Amino acid sequence: MQYVFNTIGIIGKYDAPAISHTVSVLVRFLLDRGKTVVVNESASQYAGGAEVEVADHHYIGQHCDLAIVVGGDGTILNAARTLCDFDIPLVGVNQGRLGFLADISPDELTERMTEILERGEYLLEERFLLHASLLREGETIAEGNAFNDVILQKWNMARMIEFDTYINDQFVNSQRSDGLVVSTPTGSTAYALSGGGPLMLPTLDAIVLVPICPHTLSNRPIVVNGGSHITLVLNDCNNDHAQLACDGQINISLLQRDHIQIRKKEKSIKLIHPADHDHFQMLRAKLRWG
């Protein structure tokens, strides 16, 4: 499917003066080509007085054909979670450090945007998110989306937590550990990788469960089908000494006997890459392989 991009949103990293030059160049580039430009509040201060509309992510999702995210992977994670219910592709301009999602350098910004917007030369990749629900005494009290991972983790104490894991209502195990990372293929290069999980191609329909410092050393990562329903039941922790985190950006305190239900979100997100994007080349560069 070839998209037509006439109304374009710019989402800038929050409180980041480093994006100022990139945003100002991008705004002028788009306006010179007759595009309607909508910017979020973070990017608006760098628009240089140009005729742009300032709006929140919800408005950008409803009214724009494309969202250009200027920042690092964290900014894209946030944008993906807030825009996943809208059929709007994202393209990332990397102003961060180690970027696996934002793969356009500011130095090649206008060249790459010309390829995408004027010549239609790009790769479109569809990736899924996870949806987590927290149930307490049978009632859903919190929900969140995650593009990288949903994490059950201890916090504010030295001792481990204990929890049961179920996959599709089948009991897997009880474990004592510092927690568990439940990751999408996109998140396999994030916390899951640090915990010894496998690298997964981002288009795989799979979810990986990676224990964090398990007490039983034979407790290894498990890869399951992307359609699996995962339930975690918290058995042993002091009050407020365990946390549920979505992408490390949404954090919810947990209590003993809480149930966490995790499954693939129905709506996916579309990422746009340059036409010559090579996932393995990116891994070689980011992970410093030989």
Q: Where are the domains of the chain?
A: 7-127+268-287, 130-264
Residue whose entry in the numeric block shows the structure tokens 């910017």 = 39
pLDDT of residue 137: 94
Mean per-residue pLDDT pooled into runs of 10, the chain (290 residues): 89 91 96 97 90 96 97 94 95 85 92 96 96 96 97 87 97 96 97 96 97 93 98 82 92 93 97 95 89
pLDDT of residue 241: 85
pLDDT of residue 240: 66
Catalytic annotation, pick one of 15, 32, 65, 73: 73
Distance in angstroms (rounded) separating the CA atoms of residues 289 and 283: 8
Torsion over CA: 240, 263, 195, 271 (sign): negative
pLDDT of residue 269: 97
Whether 65 is catalytic is no
User: Which CATH code of 3.40.47.10, 3.40.50.1360, 3.30.43.10, 3.40.50.10330 fits the domain covering 7-127+268-287?
Assistant: 3.40.50.10330
pLDDT of residue 177: 94
CATH superfamily ID and name for 130-264: Probable inorganic polyphosphate/atp-NAD kinase; domain 2 (2.60.200.30)
Q: Strand 36-39 to strand 53-54: parallel, antiparallel, or no bridges (unpaired)? A: parallel
Q: What is the three-state SS of the chain?
A: CCCCCCEEEEEECCCCHHHHHHHHHHHHHHHHCCCEEEECHHHHCCCCCCCCEECCHHHHHHHCCEEEEEECHHHHHHHHHHHCCCCCCEEEEECCCCCCCCCECHHHHHHHHHHHHCCCCEEEEEECCEEEEEEECCEEEEEEEECCEEEEEECCCCCCEEEEEEECCEEEEEEEECEEEEECCHHHHCHHHHCCCCCCCCCCCEEEEEEECCCCCCCCCEEEECCCCEEEEEEECCCCCEEEEECCCEEEEECCCCEEEEEECCCCEEEEEECCCCHHHHHHHHHCCC
